[in-house]
Amino acid sequence: MLANYFKIAIAVLRRKKFFTFINLFGISFTLSIIILITAFLDHFFSASYPDTNRDRELYILDIKMSSVRGNLFKGQMSAFYFDRYVSRLQPYGKIAMASEPKPTNAYVNNKKITINTKYTNDQFWDVFAYMFVEGKPYDKQQISSGQKVIVISEDARRSYFGEEEQVVGKFIETDNVRYRVIGVVKNVPKTLRYNYADAFLPYTEAKENFASRSLIGPFLGTILANTKEDLPRIRDEYRQVLGRVQLDKKEFDHIQSYADPYLTMFTRQTVALNDDTDDTGVVKTFTVAGILFLLFLLLPTLNLVNVNISRIYERASEIGIRKAFGASSRTLVSQFIIENIILTLIGGIIGVLLALVAIYVLNKSELIDNLHLAINFTVLLYSLLACLLFGLLSGVYPAWRMSKMNVVTALKTN
């Protein structure tokens, strides 16, 4: 039966070429946009180089101090806060401390270049799986002894040294400080905010007063748990650690900070409206995303519904004859919905091809440094679900209208 429905659907599509073009264009364009958005979201939130262990990670992004008197201060952690409080969680795994990339100046042949520099501890290289194309990372001993060492990206190597193949052991000067290159890592896209940098330096090179007992500084933390089962325990332990933080009671009497998975960290920062609660914003994010997705599908769906209703009236005689020979409303509805899903799937295939072309152009254009989008299994799965949803939404109402069509009226329609 499905084979017959497929043959009928193809015959109808070939008979009404203009209608087919309009339908396929609307479907394929809409789905190609959905695929592109899904590919971007997959790139942002799925584990990828060098952050390959997100299912075992917790992020400590910032701390917020407040008081009943209205005082409020929010920022990232200091090295003192990390050493005094966050490092207590190390029995559960490795903990990376790193700053966000900061632009520094370097000069090559009297030409200024900008090098985005990240300051890290030694365990940063244990938490994140950077691929070294040359050399190796700095270790705890090199940091403790104050060695002027640096790890750079492939882009930084090309910008500073040109096309030289081996640069380990050479020196690079940035912000008037000379560092010895000990490693070169594969490039990271700028979109990965907490991993991207052109150069990586020991955190002791950051311009911070390490003698200060201030809790606020330039760093954030990433905890890589030994197992996924340890994550709830680490979050509970961090809440207990917060209770032991020594605040300046003249200024603040309350502190907030969270050890969150990557998605929760993102939604807490961008969606959660009230920082004074434990609202993570995840539910709001998925609710808003679902509503926006349905609204995005609504317009092309309504257009396709109108086109399908017109198509039903054009096929009124066919429907009347089939009803006269005993075809049930259920059979006719099933046939039309399947025809519409087949049409949608064909449009979906075209949409995938269009999305592949768009992704290829985006990857080659270098609008975003080192961005590499891909249509993987996850993206294809969501695209298939979108196709089926689109086909059902645009086919159910016209099919119901067709099933209610009077036989006599249908037979009189030319």
Residues 305 and 369 placed together within one structural domain of the fold: yes
Residues 23 and 73 placed together within one structural domain of the fold: no
Residues 104 and 251 placed together within one structural domain of the fold: yes
CA distance 98 to 221: 7
**Per-position pLDDT tens, the chain of length 414:** 666 666 666 666 676 677 677 777 877 887 788 888 888 888 888 888 999 999 999 999 989 998 877 778 889 999 999 999 999 888 889 999 999 999 999 998 888 999 999 999 999 999 999 999 999 999 999 999 999 999 999 999 999 999 877 999 999 999 889 999 999 999 999 888 899 999 999 999 998 878 788 899 999 999 999 999 999 999 999 999 998 898 877 788 889 999 999 988 888 877 654 455 566 667 777 777 778 777 776 777 777 777 666 666 666 666 666 666 666 667 767 777 777 777 777 888 888 889 889 888 888 877 777 778 887 777 677 777 777 776 676 767 676 666 666 555 555 555
CA distance 86 to 224: 13
Task: Collapse the DSSP code of 179 into the 3-class scheme (helix H, G, I; strand E, B; otherwise coil) and give the result.
Answer: strand
- Give this prediction's pTM: 0.80
Q: How many CB atoms lie within 10 A of CB 4?
A: 10
Residues 169 and 22 placed together within one structural domain of the fold: no
- Tokens 């394929």 -> residue: 28
The reply to whether 318 falls in a domain is yes
The reply to whether 372 falls in a domain is yes
- Write out pLDDT tens, residues 352-394: 889 889 888 888 877 777 778 887 777 677 777 777 776 676 7
pLDDT at position 187:
95
**Domain end residue (candidates: 205, 225, 259):** 259
pLDDT at position 105:
92
Q: Is 169 left (phi over 0), alpha (psi -120 to 50) or beta?
A: left
Q: How many domains does the chain have?
A: 2
pLDDT at position 210:
80
Residues 248 and 105 placed together within one structural domain of the fold: yes
The reply to whether 192 falls in a domain is yes
Residues 39 and 142 placed together within one structural domain of the fold: no
| Domain membership of residue 138 as a residue range | 62-259
CA distance 182 to 199: 11
Residues 255 and 306 placed together within one structural domain of the fold: no
Residues 126 and 253 placed together within one structural domain of the fold: yes
**Residue type at position 176:** N
Contact (CB, 8 A) for 390 and 297 = yes
Interhelix angle 329-365/316-324, rounded to 10 degrees, is 140
Classify the C-alpha dihedral 195-196-201-204 as positive or negative.
negative
Q: What is the DSSP letter of 16?
A: -
Classify the C-alpha dihedral 207-211-217-219 as positive or negative.
positive
Residues 345 and 233 placed together within one structural domain of the fold: no
The reply to whether 273 falls in a domain is no
pLDDT at position 91:
84
Residues 204 and 338 placed together within one structural domain of the fold: no
**Domain end residue (candidates: 259, 274, 294):** 259
The reply to whether 53 falls in a domain is no
The reply to whether 168 falls in a domain is yes
The reply to whether 274 falls in a domain is no
Residues 106 and 237 placed together within one structural domain of the fold: yes
Residues 248 and 136 placed together within one structural domain of the fold: yes
pLDDT at position 315:
63
Dihedrals φ, ψ of 353, to 5°?
-65, -45
Task: Collapse the DSSP code of 219 into the 3-class scheme (helix H, G, I; strand E, B; otherwise coil) and give the result.
Answer: strand
- Write out pLDDT tens, residues 242-282: 988 988 777 888 899 999 999 888 888 776 544 555 666 67
The reply to whether 175 falls in a domain is yes
CA distance 348 to 325: 35
